[in-house]
């Protein structure tokens, strides 16, 4: 959300370095930022496919920037390489998103870690012949403790 709000400012700041390609900087920052955030938040290892998407996108951006300056020396230009590498970056990002699907250990970066519901029961003698069970349930990283009669 913050990146969305800051995108116009980032574009202005990156304009001297990236020229007309500055509007793509927030997308690159978001891609590599999410990849770097996953291990920091303890959601698993850094997603290699998302890193590959960021690298492909950064390389595509270089070819987009070089297109105009190289036009005289290379009449074909490099704009087609920009499109090819963008397609590759999108493919990597889609594969990364597919791996995060249901049942993945990675999970969404903004949600708490999903853990399977586990119930651990310990029987202990209660009053008279009643046996009491302590139940511990782990759901979404939280522990719920309760007692029930058997």
- 4-27 pLDDT, tens digit per residue, is 777 788 778 888 888 888 888 888
pLDDT class for 92, splitting at 50, 70, 90?
A: very high
Residue 56 scores a pLDDT above 60: yes
Give the whole-number percent of the chain exceeding pLDDT 90.
21
Helix 2-18 × helix 25-40 angle, to 10°: 130
Instruction: Judge whether 29 and 2 are in contact, CB under 8 Å.
Output: no
User: Nearest 10 degrees: CA dihedral of 71, 59, 108, 94?
Assistant: 70
pLDDT at 75: 82
The residue ranges of every structural domain in the chain are 2-99, 118-149
Task: Assign 61 to helix, strand or coil.
Answer: helix
pLDDT mean across residues, the chain? 74
Residue 150 scores a pLDDT above 50: no
| pTM reported for the whole predicted model | 0.61
């Amino acid at each position: 959300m913050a990146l969305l709000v800051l995108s116009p400012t980032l574009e202005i700041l990156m304009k001297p370095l990236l020229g007309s390609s500055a509007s793509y900087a927030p997308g690159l920052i978001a891609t590599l930022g999410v990849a770097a955030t996953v291990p920091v938040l303890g959601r698993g290892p850094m997603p290699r496919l998302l890193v590959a998407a960021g690298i492909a996108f950064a390389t595509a951006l270089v070819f987009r920037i070089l297109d105009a300056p190289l036009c005289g020396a290379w009449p074909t230009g490099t704009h087609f390489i920009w499109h090819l590498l963008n397609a590759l970056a999108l493919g990597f990002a889609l594969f990364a998103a597919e791996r995060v699907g249901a049942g993945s250990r990675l999970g969404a970066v903004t949600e708490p870690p999903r853990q399977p519901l586990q119930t651990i029961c310990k029987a202990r003698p209660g009053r008279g012949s009643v046996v009491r069970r302590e139940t511990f349930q782990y759901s979404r990283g939280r522990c719920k403790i309760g007692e029930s009669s058997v």
